[in-house]
Amino acid sequence: MVLSAAVARGADSQVLVREARLPDWALSAGYGMISSQYAIRLWEIAEWALVDPHVALAIAGQHQRGDLSLHDYLFATAATLRDGLDANGEFLHLVTNNSRWQVMTETDRDVTYSYEHFERAHRGIELGAQFGLALFCTRARQATGMPVVPVQVGFAQRAPRSHLAVVEAFGTRRVDFDQPVNTLTFRKADLNMPLRGSDPVLAGILRQYAATLGTQAPLTWYRQFHALLADSLTDVPTLDSMARRMVMSPRSLQRHLAEHGTSWRAELEQARRRQAEQSRSRSQPTMATLARQLGYSDARSASRALRRWAADDDGRHHQAVT
């Protein structure tokens, strides 16, 4: 999302990718959470490439529902603005595992939310915080159809030379810097406003689904390889085809696997074995069906593989007993 938004504002995608040291496999990962170090670095490079210290605020202001996938819809389908903000706090781990959004204080008139980062403060973290706070305001305005203005904004960073862009982004001059934590304060009357896209049934379904995802571990090269390999089994994957999917040469793929103490043949064998166990636990597929699911050319090849795996299991069991 950050990369696409920066490119749309005129940055060179190749420069951003190179300077942020984004690995090719991460760019081909689709929806998945990679280490936050890449996003933090990307914010810094985007600011430098666009020569814009307020790039995070600008990108947040242009945010469209769906840019952050499920997280956006958990907000948009909630009943009220407060429900949407609460849902985003509860499921913030779907988009980042280094931050927390929660209610800090509440009075009869307003509610203050804190937005904390768990990493050492530096420029990338500051830009990420600017984006996060501005994003919640953008979502509030889009979802309610009203010019929602926070009562107060607090940043855990030094004050910039000019506050104009910050004031314009949030719509208030009550912006404080050098605070213990980043905060947004909303009037309770605003928090009680209904959202235009409110859908109680869909919101319940989305929350149930989001709850099954849990906290995602950062996507690594090895995890991405396993995911793509499992997804490719029915296409009868080869070393060359997997290398293309991982955006690298076959030799590089072999080298990466060797660094993990494995090989292409061993990984393919294990992927087929895992798929066979999953398929047979759900139903009793015919050998022909199982062969297609495992990427074998015929049922006889699948049958031989099953016998070989069974023999391996028997051998390990006998060794353990002995």
pLDDT of res. 51: 94
Write out residues in the chain with pLDDT < 50, as ranges.
Answer: none
The rounded distance, in Å, linking the Cα atoms of 283 and 268 is 23
Q: Cα–Cα distances in Å, from 162 out to 128, 165, 166, 175, 238?
A: 19, 7, 8, 12, 56
pLDDT of res. 64: 93
pLDDT of res. 30: 56
Answer left, alpha or beta for residue 90, where phi above 0 means left and psi between -120 and 50 means alpha. alpha
- Decide if 2-213 and 221-321 have a common fold: no
pLDDT in tens, 266-286: 999 999 988 888 888 788 888
pLDDT of res. 295: 87
Dihedral sign, Cα of residue 209, residue 212, residue 217, residue 219: negative
Q: Which two tokens stand for residue 122?
A: 């530096």
- State CA 276 to chain mean position distance: 29
pLDDT in tens, 188-217: 999 999 999 999 999 999 999 999 887 666
CATH ID of 2-213, from 1.10.101, 3.90.1520, 3.90.120, 3.30.519: 3.90.1520
pLDDT of res. 290: 86
Q: Is 107 helix (H, G, I), strand (E, B) or coil?
A: coil
Q: Cα–Cα distances in Å, from 65 out to 1, 74, 75, 76, 77?
A: 12, 10, 9, 8, 11
Q: Which two tokens stand for residue 99?
A: 């931050």
CATH topology of domain 221-321: Arc Repressor Mutant, subunit A (1.10.10)
pLDDT of res. 28: 64
pLDDT of res. 217: 65
The rounded distance, in Å, linking the Cα atoms of 165 and 58 is 9
Q: Where do the structural domains in the chain lie, given as residue ranges?
A: 2-213, 221-321
pLDDT of res. 108: 96
Q: Cα–Cα distances in Å, from 66 out to 1, 11, 46, 57, 72?
A: 10, 22, 22, 18, 6
Q: Is 154 helix (H, G, I), strand (E, B) or coil?
A: strand
**pTM score of the predicted model:** 0.74
pLDDT of res. 209: 93
CB < 8 Å & 24+ apart, contacts of 19-27 = 19/45, 19/48, 19/49, 20/44, 20/45, 23/221, 24/246, 24/247, 24/248, 25/221, 25/224, 25/225, 25/246, 25/247, 25/248, 26/219, 26/224, 27/247
One-letter amino acid at 181 equals V
pLDDT of res. 158: 92
pLDDT of res. 24: 74
